[in-house]
Amino acid sequence: MGRIVLNKVRKSFGEVEVIPPLDLEIEDGEFVVFVGPSGCGKSTLLRLIAGLEDVSSGAIEIDGVNATSKRPSERGLAMVFQSYALYPHMSVKKNIAFPMKMAGMPVAEQEERIAAAAKALNLTDYLHRKPGQLSGGQRQRVAIGRAIVREPQAFLFDEPLSNLDAALRVNMRLEISELHQTLKTTMVYVTHDQVEAMTMADKIVVLRAGHIEQVGSPLELYRNPRNKFVAGFIGSPKMNFIEGERAASRGAHTIGIRPEHIDLSVDPVEGAIVGKIGVSEHLGSDTFAHVHCEGIGLMNVRVSGEADIHAGDTVYLQPQEHNLHRFGEDGLAITL
Amino acid sequence: MATKHSRAAARLMISPAVLLLLGWMIVPLAMTLYFSFLRYNLLMPGMEEWTGLTNYEFFVTDPAFFTALLNTLLLVGGVLLITVIGGTLLALLLDQPMFGQGIVRILVIAPFFVMPTVSALVWKNMFLNPVNGLFAHIAGFMGLPAYDFLGQAPLASIIGIVAWQWLPFATLILLTAFQSLDQEQLEAAEMDGASALSRFWYIMLPHLARAITVVILIQTIFLLSIFAEILVTTNGGPGVASTNLTYLIYVQSLLQFDVGGGSAGGVIAIILANIVAIFLMRMIGKNLEA
Ligand SMILES: Nc1ncnc2c1ncn2[C@@H]1O[C@H](COP(=O)(O)OP(=O)(O)O)[C@@H](O)[C@H]1O
Ligand SMILES: [Mg+2]
């Protein structure tokens, strides 16, 4: 089925090497998320898999067959674009029917699949509208509908939620996850938003400048980031990094501690980091305190929503020793 | 223009321009209408008198009238056909990344900057001439007899010349339309299994519909009144084989000094233009709606 293997895939645009040789295996039925900062080559990698860009060298295998030189339509993949890329002059129905029409499928079967997709995606009442008459979320659903009627080997999503507002994004995130559970088809999903990655993925691939920094399940990456980049990228708010004496005393160049792994106390504690609260964000369930610490700088701390802390308070921070991450000078994690 | 208020304000603001344009149009139109009902020949000054519809009767019963009418429609239709199809294909070609793109684009636009009289002269003497023309030389080179384009196929030759002039215009408008096409739509179609031809037919062509409409409407306005090319090349002949309405009016009014008859022809041309316009708007006007 939808097993995708990248073998030493390299891509350069002219002189610029965007993707250095890269190996990756995507198992059948997996929900894989490519995550990384903007411009790191996520879209390029996805387009290489889709066949919209030619690889400069290396091979792509889909479902056990070498697909490197196959045309996009022959790879059995469906893609949902960031701009949705709906056909503006066609009705929703014709948009969804287009891939089937191109495949020469009998009209009766087309109708059947359209009806099923429309029902699954809540589009039944909108089938005769043009994309211009739909809201962002509905357009997104049409794009997904157009992808699922083809019953592809795998779905490719390129930042599909980035044009939606926050509330809708949470909804669509859920819908896509549910879709994956029902269809059990391989999905490759690109995003720069680590929250999307953490919430949706079976497997996260963290990319930086075309390199794979780490591959693993969300909790693996959260618990055991392989280097400082992954540690800082996964988790929200970001991990705090402390250098110098404190790190050296634990045999590391840098130590990292997540905001949720710091105990905060208003009473003096021996050996604790002393700091003054700057901004504190009260979310209700949690409070995020930005603490200015002498000799360290800004530390993010998560405390309970009921915590009675205010700007200007002096507080004492104690990182939980067993949740500390140690990094060497090269940025790699030191495992004990 | 969302609110009633802003609509009213908008009407007020554009009214001076509309009134000016209206006056600009109404005065000559009224004078033409008035002259068309007079017996008014410059060879007989001072003898103008009201003749009712005689001028119209005279113009319409002229044996050249129906030929001219047909020629006008053929000229407009032929040039539109060539420029829209040729322009689309040329624009498609120019939209591809290639070496020396900037220069090629300028070269393609060049014919549009040549005056109609000049281009007609160049075509007549340097290309179509059965003795000295380039085509005659090519035919001679291949051992074929030279073809007298302007004598044997005058209307087709003029259609060719005019199409050559207007092709750049169509190409340019359609090229900008191609460039505004979202590349992701094409890629989506490619993933959906559409062949290059299907992508052109289902994605590009519908996207071009509005631009093609604009090209057709603008060109029709100008093509209905083609004159210089005919005057320079064939003088409407042989016989009336390449006479269109504009040229017939010229023959009637200027060559025969008949202002009344010419005005009647002018009014008929206006009516014809409006019929064509209504027809076009019915057919393709809906493409212009947002
Ligand atoms: N067609 C192209 N030509 C040249 N450079 C490109 C092209 N497409 C992408 N790039 C470059 O490749 C890098 C990665 O781009 P992209 O894959 O779009 O990043 P991401 O999707 O992770 O934000 C960027 O630096 C971008 O400038
Ligand atoms: Mg991208």
What Å distances lie between residue A153 and A24, A63, A72, CA to CA? Answer: 17, 8, 13
> In this predicted model, what pLDDT tens digit does every residue of B77-136 receive, in sequence order?
999 999 999 999 999 988 888 888 888 888 888 888 888 888 888 888 888 887 788 888
The Cα A88–Cα B182 span in angstroms is: 10
Distance CA A81, CA A142 (A): 11
Answer whether A119's CB lies under 8 Å from A84's CB.
Answer: no
Q: What is the pLDDT of residues B221-238, one digit of tens each?
A: 899 889 988 998 888 878
pLDDT of amino acid A59: 93
Contact B203, B191 (CB under 8 A): no
Would you call the peptide bond into B238 cis, given omega within 30 degrees of 0 as the criterion?
yes
- On chain B, the residues whose CB falls within 8 A of the CB of A71 are 190
A98 near B CB under 8 A: yes
Phi, psi of B109 (to 5 degrees): -75, -25
pLDDT of residue B280: 84
For residue A66, the model assigns a pLDDT of 92
pTM for this entry: 0.82
**Structural domains present in chain B:** 62-257 (1.10.3720.10)
Best residue of B192, B199, B204 to probe chain A, by most A CBs closer than 10 Å:
B192
What is the CATH number that goes with domain A242-327?
Answer: 2.40.50.140
Chain-chain contact of B207 with A50 (C-beta, under 8 angstroms)? no
Q: Do A89 and B188 touch (CB under 8 A)?
A: no
Interchain CB distance below 8 Å, A99 and B206: no
Q: What atom in ligand 1 is closest to the CA of residue A40?
A: 22
Counts of helices then strands in chain A (DSSP H, E): 9, 18
Average pLDDT over residues B28-50: 84
- Cβ-based contacts of A77 with chain B (< 8 Å): 191
Which secondary-structure segment (H or E) carries A168?
A: helix A166-183
Q: What is the pLDDT along chain A (336 residues), one digit of tens a residue?
A: 689 999 999 999 989 999 999 999 999 999 999 999 999 999 999 999 999 999 999 999 998 899 999 999 889 899 999 889 999 999 999 999 999 999 999 999 999 999 999 988 888 999 999 999 998 889 999 999 999 998 899 999 999 998 888 888 998 899 999 999 999 999 999 999 999 999 999 999 999 999 999 999 999 999 999 999 999 999 888 999 998 888 888 888 999 999 999 999 888 888 888 999 999 888 889 999 999 998 888 999 999 888 888 888 899 999 998 999 999 988 898 876
CB B242, CB B234: distance < 8 Å: yes
Nearest CB to B191 within list A50, A83, A86: A50
Q: What DSSP character marks residue B144?
A: P
Give the torsion sign (CA, A43, A49, A51, A54): positive
Q: Which residues of A touch B201 (CB under 8 A)?
A: none
Distance, in Å, from the CA atom of A244 to the CA atom of B108, rounded to the nearest integer, reads 68
How far apart, in Å, do the first and last CA atoms of chain B sit? 14
Nearest CA in chain B to A82: B184
Residue B12, classed as helix, strand or coil, is: helix
A99 Cα to chain B: minimum distance (Å) = 5
Closest partner CB to B191 (pick from A72, A82, A87): A72
A92 closest CA partner among A167, A144, A28: A144
Which residue shows structure tokens 């498609």? B92
Q: In what order do the strands lie in the sheet with A297-304?
A: A262-265, A314-319, A273-282, A286-293, A297-304
Site to substitute for ligand 1 among A10, A15, A18, A55, most atoms within 8 A of C-beta = A18
For chain A, the farthest-separated pair of C-alpha atoms sits apart, in whole angstroms, at 77
Beta-strand pair A77-80/A154-158: parallel
Segment B126-134 long-range contacts (CB within 8 Å, at least 24 positions apart)? B128/B157, B128/B233
The CATH fold of domain A4-231: Rossmann fold (3.40.50)
Q: Three-state SS for B22?
A: helix
pLDDT score of B1 more than 70? no
- Chain centre to alpha carbon of residue B241: 18
Q: Which atom of ligand 1 is nearest to the CA of A36?
A: 22
Give nearest CA residue, ligand 1 atom 5.
A13
d(CA B56, CA A221): 90
Name the closest residue on chain A to residue B194, using Cα atoms: A102
Quick one: tokens of A297?
A: 């700088």
Q: Which atom of ligand 1 is nearest to the CA of A41?
A: 17
Q: What is the pLDDT of residue B162?
A: 92
- A82 to chain B: which residues are within 8 Å by CB? 184
Contact by Cβ (8 Å): A194, A239: no
Q: Where in chain A is the domain with CATH 3.40.50.300?
A: 4-231
- The DSSP line for A34-86 is EE-STTSSHHHHHHHHHTSS--SEEEEEETTEE-TTS-GGGTTEEEE-TT---
B47 vs B1: CA distance, rounded Å = 55
Tokens of B237: 């002949």
The β-bridge relationship of strands A186-191 and A154-158 is: parallel
Q: Is B114 exposed, middle or buried (0-12, 13-18, 19+ CB in 10 A)?
A: middle
- pLDDT for residue A327: 93
Q: What is the pLDDT of residue A164?
A: 87
* Residues in contact with ligand 1 (CB, 6 Å cut-off): A 13, 18, 36, 38-44
Structure tokens at A49: 């898999």
Distance A41 CA to ligand 2 centre (A): 7
Work out how many CB contacts closer than 8 A connect A with B.
Answer: 59
Residue nearest to atom 24 of ligand 1 (CA): A39
Report the gap between the CA of B192 and the closest CA in chain A (Å): 5
Chain A residue numbers with beta carbons less than 8 Å from the beta carbon of B190 are 52, 71-73
User: Residue A79: its chain B contacts at CB < 8 A?
Assistant: 187-188, 191
Q: Do B192 and A77 touch (CB under 8 A)?
A: no
CB burial of residue B231 (10 Å; 0-12, 13-18, 19+) = middle
Least-confidence region, from A33-47, B183-197, B208-222, B247-261: B247-261
Ligand 2 centroid to A149 CA: how many Å? 25
Residue B290 has pLDDT above 70, yes or no: no
DSSP states of B216-278: HHHHHHHHTT--HHHHHHTTT-STTTT--HHHHHHIIIIIS-BHHHHHHHHHHHHHHHHHHHH
Outline which parts of chain A fall under CATH 2.40.50.140: 242-327
